[in-house]
Amino acid sequence: MKARSALLAANRQDTPAPAKAGKRRPTTRLPAAERRARILEKAFEFFSEYGLTAQTRALADACGVSQRLLYSVFPSKSALINAVYDANIAGPFKAIWFVQLRDRSKPLEARLNEFYREYYDTILTRRWLRLFLYASLAEVEMAPTYIAAIIRTLLETVVDEAASDAGLRLPSDRSLLQELGWTLHGNVSHLAIRRHIYRDATALDVERVIELHVRTFVAGTRAILQPATSASAKTKARRST
């Protein structure tokens, strides 16, 4: 396996040398929005392959633009990383998923299975996971921001729906509530890591494995949380004494 620096060097060697002064081929001028979108897409691909510590010269080469043009669109590398986060990490998450998870006209397990199948296919791609892991290793605030902005709400929603479906009382400790949610979300996320990063191919298809995790989560929630009825009965008993 080539080291990252060797891969970057090889990529630069494969790139045709720039034309000499006075013989430069004319380039097509793209609308600003289209140029920005293209740079973002190339940057997403580049960062997911080589990490966020790579130099901007190599990044500009990968984007097919000069460093000067790159910085005219994004004033700093940090600004580019933030834009990649907005477009490619948080951007694919669909707000409608929260609505669908809370739709109690459907059975709980059906809702969870539908959501995590779509989340796996839409979010947990090889490129998304690599960028997310690289950002974590580089101590960029991408992962903490995503968890704080989206995942904590998702974890609480999932546990809330599981508790309501079983007539159970939610824990008052939000940290415990979120950890319960991680028992499902973490397993599905690690499934994607195993398949896309570790290349761990097994005979079981993704949908079946997700179903196993959903059933385990639902059963585990029922084993851990207390019945809401008994909790309310105890409260009434205390008040009457």
Domain CATH number, residue 63 = 1.10.10.60
What are 87's two structure tokens? 């477009």
* Dist. CA 91–CA 149, nearest whole Å: 12
Of 43, 61, 84, the one marking the end of a domain is: 84
Tell me: do 96 and 77 sit in the same domain. no
Which pLDDT score, from 0 to 100, does residue 28 have? 61
SS3 of the chain: the string is: CCCHHHHHHHHHHHCCCCCCCCCCCCCCCCCHHHHHHHHHHHHHHHHHHHCCCCCHHHHHHHHCCCHHHHHHHCCCHHHHHHHHHHHHHCCCCCCHHHHHHCCCCCCHHHHHHHHHHHHHHHCCCHHHHHHHHHHHHCCCCHHHHHHHHHHHHHHHHHHHHHHHHHCECCCCCHHHHHHHHHHHHHHHHHHHHHHHCCCCCCCCCHHHHHHHHHHHHHHHHHHHCCEHHHHHHHHHHHHHC
**pTM for the whole thing?**
0.81
**Does 7 map to a domain?**
no
pLDDT in tens, 174-203: 999 999 999 999 999 999 999 999 999 888
Tell me: do 135 and 69 sit in the same domain. no
* Dist. CA 205–CA 62, nearest whole Å: 35
Tell me: do 79 and 94 sit in the same domain. no
Tell me: do 72 and 178 sit in the same domain. no
What are 50's two structure tokens? 């080589």
Which pLDDT score, from 0 to 100, does residue 4 have? 54
Of 39, 67, 84, the one marking the end of a domain is: 84
Number of domains observed in the structure of the chain: 2
Tell me: do 111 and 193 sit in the same domain. yes
Tell me: do 70 and 152 sit in the same domain. no
What domain range includes position 135?
90-229
**Does 17 map to a domain?**
no
Tell me: do 100 and 150 sit in the same domain. yes
Which pLDDT score, from 0 to 100, does residue 64 have? 84
Give me the average pLDDT of each 10-residue run along the chain (241 residues): 49 44 51 89 94 88 89 92 95 97 98 98 97 92 94 97 96 94 98 95 92 97 86 46 43
Closest by alpha carbon to 160, among 175, 150, 171? 171
CA–CA–CA angle 180, 186, 162 (5° rounding): 40
Of 23, 49, 84, the one marking the end of a domain is: 84
Tell me: do 171 and 195 sit in the same domain. yes
Which pLDDT score, from 0 to 100, does residue 24 have? 38
Tell me: do 70 and 175 sit in the same domain. no
Tell me: do 103 and 215 sit in the same domain. yes
* Dist. CA 11–CA 54, nearest whole Å: 13
* Dist. CA 18–CA 66, nearest whole Å: 11
**Does 112 map to a domain?**
yes
**Does 129 map to a domain?**
yes
**Does 174 map to a domain?**
yes
